[in-house]
Homo-oligomer: A and B are copies of this chain.
Amino acid sequence: MKRRSRASAGNRAAVARLRKLGELVYEQIERGEYPIVRIPDRSVGNIIYDEKLGQYILGPKRFVRTTKNVKHLRAFAQLMWLAYFSKLLSSSHKTSTLRDVFYSAQAYNVEFEDQDESDERITELEALLGMAREEFNVYPEERSSIFGRLTIEYNIPGYEGRKLDLTSHPDGVMIGPALTTADFVETDAEMVIAIEKGGLFTRFIEEKVHDRFKAVLINTAGQAPRATRYLLRRLRNELNLPVYVLTDGDPWGMHIAMVIISGSANAAHLTQLNVPDASWIGVWATDITKYKLPFDKLTDVDIKRLRELSSDPRYSGDPWSSQIDAFLKHRRKSEQEAFAKYGLTYIVDKYLPDKLGR
């Protein structure tokens, strides 16, 4: 039985960095200067692929937003308000959605044209602080869920010290702010399996995959939200558990696995949201023929997507490039549910042990 703990430093670290940002601006004003901020440049020209990390990162370029330029004033003020509001959220242990932030600005007479504008400014704040917005308490809507052999201990107000065994509720529990910031206090799990779809997640629980494979199961519900990717990284790093990703056998499923492994180009300013050594265990293009799965023909959109992926440096190694070739050769795609052709438990009794080498 392992036992690990993690101080929930997230909020404190965010408050410290936000305070530092404020000090920087104050200092400039006190020196009689027009305050400026230097924001990491997220434009395509500054996104580079880091082979060692196996992910996209930002290069060294920064752009200067200065209050000397009247055209910058609006965005500068918006950014300062966002930093203020984020500090308020973090220090009062409240969370907010992107949409809430957009409307909250109106309480302060801070203008955003639309939510795209407030989202963009939040992303700049992420880049400036080097922190995901979840760390300063701006969360997406919950969508993913978790079940398995792990006990957590909460850090949110009113729940400090309370624990939950993640096998307590056999439909799974939501991955929201409380779960994301909880400590991992006890587990005998030997792996994490992230699953693209709720139907299969439920099947895995019914067939006791968590017991048979000593596993923590995560339903990503499609493309894994960032809070879920952050949680997967914590499970990997703090508990030293291998992470396996099981998706539909098509370019979209393949990319769900890739984003868990190497992050997304959109979030190249953040390097804490991926699990570089996670494994995509299927459904592979070669599994579709090997297991004689029911399939649909690839559409033109699927094929276009495969060609895009094949020019992405993250897809140059194995199994990626050979699976892209196999998809293009056979022109077939299969869903996870296709294994039901062999009975509802076949995927658990046969396919999963095959892929995990057990």
Contacts and interface: CB of A to CB of B under 8 A. Distances in A.
A145 interface: yes
A343 B107 contact: yes
Nearest to A100: B340
A226 to B, nearest CB: 15
Contact of A104 (B145, B178, B219, B341): B341
Given A95-B202, A99-B199, A340 B107 contact: yes
Contacts of A172: 142, 173-174, 176
A347 to B, nearest CB: 10
Interface of A: 94-97, 99-100, 102-104, 106-107, 139, 141-143, 145, 154, 156, 158-159, 164, 168-179, 197-199, 201-203, 206, 208, 219, 294, 335, 337-344
Interface centre among A100, A106, A145, A159 (most CB of B within 10 A): A100
**Which 3 A-B pairs rank lowest in CB-CB distance, beginning with the nearest?**
A171-B176, A141-B198, A103-B340
Nearest to A172: B174
Given A100-B337, A340-B100, A141 B197 contact: yes
Question: Which of A198, A208, A339 neighbours the largest number of chain B CB atoms within 10 Å of its CB?
Answer: A198
B173 A338 contact: no
B99 A337 contact: yes
B174 A97 contact: no
